[in-house]
Structure formats: C-alpha cells, structure tokens
Amino acid sequence: MAMAGAYHGSGMSGAVAAGLSPQEIVRRLSDLYGTPEWRPHGDPLTELVLTILSQNTSDANSGRAFMRLRARFPTWESLMAADLAAIEEAIRIGGLSQVKAARIKALLEEVMRQRGSLDLSFLAELPAAEARAWLERLPGVGPKTAACVLLFSLGRPALPVDTHVHRVALRLGLVPPRTPPARAQALLEEWVPPELHYQFHVLLIRHGRRLCRAQRPLCSLCPLLDSCPHGQASGSS
C-alpha cells in the first residue's frame, strides 16, 4: 500500500516526510470525529438533485432549497413539467437558482428521454463502472456528482472530492500540487481501499470544516500534523 505523500498513481513520485496509509488517516480522524456509518438511502434521483443544489452553497441552504422544491413539486414528473421560473423561485435560497434550475430540468428531461420514466433503480443492477459512465453522460453531471450518487444512494465505492476533501488532500500531499478535483478524485479512489471510501470522504470533509480550514487552519490541533507537509511548513500555527 502506498503511503501518503508518495503521489500514487500514473507513475508520479515525490516523497514528503513520514507518510500515512489511508487506514491510519481514517483511524486518527475517527478518534477525533467519530467513525462515520455508511447508510446508503437508495434514491439516485434525489441524490442527483441534492448534489446540484449543493454546488457553491452551504449544506443548510441546499437542504432548505431541496425541501422547498419538493414541497412545491411533490413528484419528479411535476418538477420536470414546471416552468423554469417556478423552479428558480423554489430553490432561490440555495443560490445560483437560474443555473441550478436549468440543470435540474435538463437532467430530468434527459433521464425521461433515455429511460421513458424517472426511475433510476436500474443503476443498482449495473456494474459500478457502467453506472458511473451512464450518470456522467447526463447533462450537468461530472465525476463528483456521479460519485455522490454511487456512494450515498447506491452504496457503491466512490470518493467524491469536494472543496474540503481537495484542500486536505493537497495539504497532506496525497495528490501532487495543483491537481484539479476530478484528477484528485481518480487518484484517491485508486489509493484508498474501496471499503474505506465512505469513511475517508466524510472524515476529510469534517476535518476540512473544523481544523484544516481554508483560512487560518488550526494545524497545532491536527492529529495528522506529523505527516502534513503544509502544516510542517507553516510552523504548526
């Protein structure tokens, strides 16, 4: 198993100080934040819409936007048939409502065009790679959104890289400097054992929110400090 900082995958190399395995990262962060329990909810379409609403906003605001959307449009069919202006109004609290409304409507229309219904339960029967490829062919669905559907709704191994996971992975040297999120996701999915994808993802998000923050990270409190190039370079402030 490659160690943190070894820049695993694609022949890339570049050592940092003492490295950590994915298992050790999960163990240390679980000691601090608790062990996340993987409970897939089995609703791919809900996850798709939630992930679109979560873009560039807080979990609280995206959650409110989703609840208002479902209250206004109780069925996916009624949402698909709605005017864009009505969708925009329902999700306005989540920000970027014009962009997100258009994406959601286009997504639903394309699913209906391809499948003749808005039922995505068939994805659970496909091999993970085929399910991911099908999802990524939908409008507005990239690697992160597809991975969210696989992980949170279908219970399949996948490791979505959001802004927190990306930041923590870069600071720890788990991926090379300036690696874009989609590439970081591919590298981390290869490096982290599939059975740890969920815990690794959730724990890096918790860590990015609480200690490894974008501004003024609390490096001196970090359980990964001894193997973090960024924390060591910053003087553990």
How would DSSP label each residue in 107-141? HHHHHHHHHSSS--GGGGGS-HHHHHHHHHTSTT-
What stretch(es) of the chain map to CATH 1.10.340.30? Answer: 44-153
Of 37, 51, 67, 36, nearest to 149 (Cα)? 51
pLDDT per residue as tens digits for the range 64-101:
999 999 999 999 999 999 999 999 999 999 999 999 99
Query: Residue 18 has what pLDDT?
Result: 41
CA distances to 93, 105, 163, 165 from 144, rounded to whole Å, are 23, 19, 11, 11
The arrangement of secondary structure in 44-153, i.e. its CATH architecture, is: Orthogonal Bundle (1.10)
* Backbone phi, psi, residue 76, to 5°: -65, -30
47-61, 80-94, 156-170: range with lowest mean pLDDT: 47-61
The rounded distance, in Å, linking the Cα atoms of 182 and 170 is: 13
Which residues belong to the active site? 144
Over residues 9-34, mean pLDDT: 73
What stretch(es) of the chain map to CATH 1.10.1670.10? Answer: 22-37+160-233
Question: Which top CATH class is 22-37+160-233?
Answer: mainly alpha
* DSSP H helix total and E strand total for the chain: 12, 0
The rounded distance, in Å, linking the Cα atoms of 104 and 235 is: 45
pLDDT per residue as tens digits for the range 192-209:
999 999 999 999 999 999
Chain centroid offset of residue 178 CA: 18
Percentages helix, strand, coil for the chain (3-state, rounded to 5) are 60, 0, 40
